[in-house]
Each structure stands twice: as C-alpha cells, then as structure tokens.
Amino acid sequence: MKVLFALSLLCATTVMGQKSTVEAWETMFNGKDLTGWTTKIRYAKSGENVKNTFRVVDEKLVVSYDQYDSFNEQFGHLFYNKKFSYYRIKLQYRFTGEQAKDGPGWAYRNSGIMIHGQSPESIGKDQDFPVSIEVQLLGGNGKEKRTTCNLCTPGTNVVMNGKVFTPHCINSTSDTYHGDQWVNAEVIVLGDSIVQHFANDKMVLSYEKPQIGGGNVSGQENIFGTSGQLLTEGTISLQSESHPVEFKSIKILNLEGCMDPTAKNYKTYFIKSKPSDCRYSKKEK
C-alpha cells in the first residue's frame, strides 16, 4: 500500500511549480500483428510460433490450440522485445473455450504475466518456463473460489513479511472471475525492491526482493543468475499453458528516466533516476 500511496501522491502533487506530467503509457501490442514480440515454445527454437499458438484475431492477442492434436506439455511464452526495471504494466484478459487435449489439470483457465525473466534466446529448447516471477492469471471454474493475480516463482524466490518465501505459489486476495468476462490485471514493479499485483484496480498481493532461487523449471540448459541474486530487471512475457486465452489493451508505463526538472523529458512520476536519459535545450546545456 505504501507504493500505491506514493504513486498517487506523485500524480497529485506539484513539482517546482509544475503540474504533474501526463503519463506516457507505451502500447505494447498494436492489434494487428506480433511485431515487437518473440515466441519461445517448449521443444522449439526461439522465434518459432508452433502451430500458430500466438495470433491476432479481431485486434486481440489470442492463445489458441485449434491446431494441436495434443498439448504434450508444450508450454509457451510470448516475450516483449524490451527489458524493463521500474514500471507499471496493465492489460485485460479473459479465458475462452475448452482446454487443449491432455493439458494438465492445474492449467485449466491458467495463464500468466512473467516479469523479471530471462531472454527467449537463453531458454533451453526443452525448458518449460523461463526463470522469472509469474503473475498468475486464473479464471473461475463456475463453482469454487479461485483467485487471480497470484504469485508463482519458476526458478525464483521473493521476500514476504521479512522472510524469503520458498513455496512455488501463493494466492492473492482477489475475487473469483467465472466465465468469459474480461478482467483488468496490473503489476507495479520497482526493480529489486517492491512488486504489487492488482486485479480490477484492487491491490491483491505485495512482496519484495525478487531473486534467483528455488526450482520448478525443467530442461534448463543455461544457468541464469546465481542463488540469492536480486532481480533488478528482465523480460516480460505472456503464457500459453494449454487453455485458450485472449489479451487486449496491453500497455506499460516506464517509471525510470530523467528526474532533472530542467530537462525537456523530465517526468514527475519517475521513481528511478536515469541521468543518461536527460535531454536539454541548447540554451540550458
């Protein structure tokens, strides 16, 4: 809640007599094709979109299995081609249709946003999940409570309540969203310090110090980081885990940049200073 309060305060305050600058959200998905994204599906090379798993339909980014005879544990991820450290990412998602044949039971209406991950090129051909922090997206089964924007940790750990959290997953405090309804998911990521998950604009989970550690990654060929190493940045990817899912309105707000008020590209909402980004008029510097 401290981070949420801090962000709200930044947006509401006046800095050096100036009103807060307009947030420059970057559109990550153009609604036309997969430009800016790279696929990595298990048992295939990076960049190979096996059986057209990831596609664009009616301006939505769609995960589909209509060309699969059997899922065969071909877990996949679609990586955005930029790394980020301090940022907010938000999107809308919904689950549709039936799970692919032989998809694991736990993957029913299951997908995710992977943050602070390794690059698709560094993932082994037979590796199932990237070393990363997973913001787990779940849909309801029409009966039981099933939260979303949970946390799972493939090859990683986090700190919760002052202690390293080693179990693979933990549920959030979100509501359950049954059926094919669209759900808003947002994540605030502040480098190697705080990460917060939001479902339909409500904060549902918070933790600190994402780091290398733990297991739950199979087929890893390349060592990614060392145990206990804090994750300061990484890739962002969307999952294909055997259930059809759709994404839209995928946007990101970089919170790292020029924090010098005299620069042309200064933003009041930046949290992490990056002096090398500052741009000045000739008269100033």
Quick one: average pLDDT of 172-178?
98
What is the residue range of 95's domain?
25-254
- The answer on pLDDT for 285 being more than 80 is no
Written as six digits, the tokens of 282 are: 């000739």
Nearest CA to 38 among 51, 48, 26? 48
Quick one: average pLDDT of 249-274?
97
Q: Sorting pLDDT into bands at 50, 70 and 90, what band is 71?
A: very high
* pLDDT 10s digits, 145-170: 999 999 999 999 999 999 999 999 99
Distances (CA, A) of 28 to 130, 176, 190, 197, 260: 20, 27, 19, 19, 27
Q: Regarding beta strands 86-95 and 183-190, do their DSSP bridges make them parallel or antiparallel, or are they unpaired?
A: antiparallel
CB atoms closer than 10 angstroms to residue 164 = 13
Quick one: average pLDDT of 41-67?
98
Q: Sorting pLDDT into bands at 50, 70 and 90, what band is 5?
A: very low
More confident residue, 139 or 19: 139
- The answer on pLDDT for 187 being more than 70 is yes
Share of the chain above pLDDT 70, in %: 92
Q: How many domains is the chain partitioned into structurally?
A: 1
| 41 is a domain residue | yes
The pLDDT score that the predictor gives to residue 236 is: 98
- The answer on pLDDT for 222 being more than 90 is no
The pLDDT score that the predictor gives to residue 280 is: 96
- The answer on pLDDT for 50 being more than 90 is yes
Q: Which residue has the tokens 């049954």?
A: 178
The pLDDT score that the predictor gives to residue 2 is: 45
| 117 is a domain residue | yes
The pLDDT score that the predictor gives to residue 283 is: 63
| 226 is a domain residue | yes
CATH no. for residue 213?
2.60.120.560
| 130 is a domain residue | yes
Q: Sorting pLDDT into bands at 50, 70 and 90, what band is 219?
A: confident
The pLDDT score that the predictor gives to residue 19 is: 63
| 285 is a domain residue | no
| 259 is a domain residue | no
- Say how far apart CA 65 and CA 178 lie, in whole Å: 21
The pLDDT score that the predictor gives to residue 12 is: 42
Share of the chain above pLDDT 90, in %: 86
CB 87 within 8 A of CB 189: yes
| 3 is a domain residue | no
| 193 is a domain residue | yes
